[in-house]
Amino acid sequence: MLLLAEKNSWIFFIKPLVAVGLVILLLCSCLLVQAQDSIKQKPAKWKFTLHDSLDHAIDLSDWIINANGFVPVPDIITEPAVGFGGAIAPILMHKHHQPVQTLNRYKKLAPIPPDITGGFAFYTASKSWGAGLFRSGTIVPWHLSYKVFAGYMNMNLNFYKTLPSLGEVKFKTNIKSIPAFLRLQKQLGYSNWSAGIQYVFVKTTAKQISHILPDSLFKPKELDNISSIPGVLVEFDNRDNIFTPNKGSKIHVDANFSYEAFGSDFNYTHMNGFFYKYFPIGHKKKWVSGFRGDYQQVIGDIPFYFKPSLDLRGIPRGRYQGNVNMLAETEQRWNVFRRWSAVFFTGVGKVFDEYADFGSSGWEYNYGTGFRYMLARKFGLYMGADVARGPEQWGFYIQFGSAWLK
């Protein structure tokens, strides 16, 4: 929830905005070519194109690499937790030169991911809205990568409490927050392992909209607080690309500490571990099999809206929350024809507050299907849409890259 816009559902009228984006790309390219002609007084070697040089299909790779162009990402938000809405997220990408693979120390290294700079703005039917800026990059000579994010969120979200006399009660809450995030990771030698530090700051003001529950059920600090949370992490990542991997693994473990000594109003430790595994199947490798596991645990006193919740397509964010959260999911991608692929996925998850409740808490599930189109071949970037079913309802999701972005 801290970084709700980091991954999932932004939403817009896709066709008009894509058309506008392409017109902007064309105009920018024309200006760039004219500037090059006037300065160098030589014909430009590269001409604007939205077609790939190999199969001549629609592709944004050359635009991104050669014209310092951006990918306009209009989106339709269908996340059940916030309602129908729209978003726009212009993204700039810079591709790094990869190490020479003939050197033994580079042979097993994953490719250096591109630098990504972007912004976003969104609005939904629940009158939730937000905006922010983000940057992800690599300082190659230092073997150092970083991520930075800052924004403002005004969210209207449903949460659930179980009361002794009433059972489960749904209540609507308005949460205004100013989140900021910084992560620094250092590559460990010439390996795919890295370690680092991160810091999260959130200024939060919350209030109950539905007024179904008495205010005495909420801690005063839950309604107005500051979170100042340093953390440490260890990560292994040898995926062939960060957007839509075809092979490789990612393993991540982090621990984050929210305590008064660091300026927080709540005292708790949040631990998170997850892994992704991808491998191609078959002689022509047209089938890519993916598996994912995720575990989160909170120890201490945490605001109800920061509690971990199940992150499965088809299940609204915040619907199933607990101090302990675990899930497993698989996604199968079949490259049907040229750049077009079909995906099928299913998963299960469980949340509970105490390990003694493990047996009595239920398993929640999801399943669904979707499609992908390879939008930028040289980046391994696919874009598409998914339809998913959870225990209670259906969900529709626009996907930019993998659905597993964390």
Domains of the chain plus CATH, in order, are 4-400 (2.40.160.50)
**Other C-beta atoms lying within 10 Å of the C-beta of residue 372:** 24
Judge if pTM exceeds 0.75. yes
- How does pLDDT run across 114-147, given as a tens digit for each residue? 898 999 899 999 899 999 999 999 999 999 999 9
Q: Reduced to 3 states, what is the DSSP secondary structure of residue 349?
A: strand
374: nearest Cα among 59, 27, 75: 59
**Quick one: pLDDT at residue 135?**
95
271: nearest Cα among 223, 324, 193: 324
Q: Does 8 have pLDDT greater than 70? A: no
- How does pLDDT run across 136-145, given as a tens digit for each residue? 999 999 999 9
**Other C-beta atoms lying within 10 Å of the C-beta of residue 11:** 25
Where in 238-319 does DSSP place strands (E)? 248-258, 268-281, 287-300
- How does pLDDT run across 236-280, given as a tens digit for each residue? 999 999 999 999 999 999 999 999 999 999 999 999 999 999 999
Lowest mean pLDDT among 17-26, 32-41, 318-327: 17-26
Lowest mean pLDDT among 30-39, 138-147, 355-364, 381-390: 30-39
- How does pLDDT run across 301-313, given as a tens digit for each residue? 999 889 999 999 9
* Helix spans in 262-363 (H): none
Calculate mean pLDDT across residues 213-217: 77
Q: In angstroms, rounded to a whole number, what is the distance separating the alpha carbons of residues 100 and 96? A: 12
Calculate mean pLDDT across residues 158-182: 85
Q: Which residues of 229-261 are buried (b: 16+ CB within 10 A; e: fewer)?
A: bbbebbbbbbbebbbbbbbbbbbbebebbbeee
Q: Does 23 have pLDDT greater than 50? A: no
Q: Reduced to 3 states, what is the DSSP secondary structure of residue 250?
A: strand
Per-residue tokens: 69? 């162009």
Q: Which residue has the higher pLDDT, 340 or 168?
A: 340
Mean residue pLDDT across the chain: 84
Q: What are phi and psi of 100, to 5 degrees?
A: -70, 120
**Quick one: pLDDT at residue 47?**
62
Q: Which residue has the higher pLDDT, 209 or 37?
A: 209
Q: Does 5 have pLDDT greater than 50? A: no
- How does pLDDT run across 25-72, given as a tens digit for each residue? 333 433 343 444 444 444 455 566 788 888 889 988 888 777 666 677
